[in-house]
């Protein structure tokens, strides 16, 4: 699939989710499970979830990168593919009023939704910007930490994403991403399936290739902090190999 086609499909899918015309990125995934239960299942604590707006908690994501980001008061944090803002609000609570968290998302409906939630609940230290993670609307060396939750696999140019992340990070800054990778190659029929891309499957890389792209962007001390099997529902599960949800930490 071509880059423009992939982005068009992804934008359309997540716009529907933002408008609540669809509950999850995959039509058959997570239905019948409350967003809170699903969030706890992928690593969020009840305590953290109780401290953020419920409207931001959706059936999206595959981990909790902020749990190991060691965010500090006063830091500037960037969330790649921020959606309705769940990770932005978690981070905003940790960096406090002297810090700032910026969420970047390419879906206008998600940016609008997250912005409305931030204003409603008085998150003056949270900001949401419309933009692509391959071309971040931020200045060089302007953030202390970058987080991302199951979004980079949606990009057709992951090398560019990691280079942009490296560009906007301050020296010594850290990257913490939760994402889907594979053990073994993804079948061609999945790679060329639009729905599979929007469901975070079609664009999944083999784990080692994913880690190499982070290193090639310039990052050091690249470590897999968490690794667990990721289950897929529906017909795609019959043709896929083993999928993994991993959390990776690296430094500039």
Domains of the chain: 3-251 (3.40.50.150)
The confidence score (pLDDT) of residue 184 equals: 83
CA distance 125 to 12: 29
Judge contact between 214 and 250, C-beta under 8 A: yes
Backbone angle region of 206, left / alpha / beta, with phi > 0 → left and psi within -120 to 50 → alpha: beta
The confidence score (pLDDT) of residue 212 equals: 98
Signed CA dihedral, 102, 84, 120, 50: sign only: negative
The confidence score (pLDDT) of residue 199 equals: 75
Judge contact between 173 and 144, C-beta under 8 A: yes
Closest CA to 130 of 119, 122, 138: 138
The confidence score (pLDDT) of residue 123 equals: 98
Give the distance from CA 48 to its chain's centroid. Answer: 18
The confidence score (pLDDT) of residue 239 equals: 53
The confidence score (pLDDT) of residue 19 equals: 82
Q: How many Cβ atoms are within 10 Å of 97's Cβ, its own excluded?
A: 11
Q: How many Cβ atoms are within 10 Å of 235's Cβ, its own excluded?
A: 9
The confidence score (pLDDT) of residue 23 equals: 47
Closest CA to 77 of 160, 177, 153: 177
CA distances from 145 to 21, 91, 141 (A): 33, 10, 10
Per-residue pLDDT of the chain (252 residues; tens, 9 = 90+): 688 888 888 888 888 888 874 444 554 454 456 677 778 778 788 998 999 999 998 867 888 999 899 999 999 999 999 999 999 999 999 999 999 999 999 999 999 999 999 999 999 999 999 999 999 999 999 999 999 999 999 999 999 999 999 999 999 999 999 999 998 888 888 888 877 887 778 889 999 999 999 999 999 999 999 998 877 655 454 556 688 999 999 999
Residue that the structure tokens 């790649």 belong to: 80
């Amino acid at each position: 699939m071509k880059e423009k086609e992939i982005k068009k499909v992804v934008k359309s899918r997540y716009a529907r989710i933002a408008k609540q015309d669809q509950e999850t990125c995959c039509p058959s995934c997570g239905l019948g499970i409350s967003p809170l239960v699903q969030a706890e299942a992928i690593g969020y604590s009840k305590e953290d979830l109780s401290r953020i707006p419920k409207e931001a908690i959706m059936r999206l994501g595959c981990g909790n990168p902020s749990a190991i980001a060691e965010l500090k008061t006063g830091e500037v944090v960037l969330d790649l593919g921020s959606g309705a803002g769940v990770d932005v609000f978690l981070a905003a609570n940790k960096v406090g009023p002297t810090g700032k968290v910026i969420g970047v998302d390419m879906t206008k409906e998600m940016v609008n939704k997250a912005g409305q939630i931030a204003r409603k609940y008085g998150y003056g230290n949270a900001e949401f910007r419309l933009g692509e993670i391959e071309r971040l609307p931020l200045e060089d060396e302007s953030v202390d930490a970058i987080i991302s939750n199951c979004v980079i696999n949606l990009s057709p140019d992951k090398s560019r994403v990691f280079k942009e992340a490296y560009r906007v990070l301050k020296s010594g800054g850290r990257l913490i991403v939760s994402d889907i990778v594979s053990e073994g190659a993804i079948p061609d029929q999945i790679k060329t399936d639009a729905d599979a891309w929007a469901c975070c499957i079609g664009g999944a890389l083999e784990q080692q290739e994913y880690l190499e792209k982070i290193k090639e962007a310039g990052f050091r001390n690249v470590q897999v902090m968490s690794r667990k099997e990721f289950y897929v529902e529906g017909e795609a599960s019959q043709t896929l190999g083993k999928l993994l949800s991993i959390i990776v930490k690296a430094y500039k």
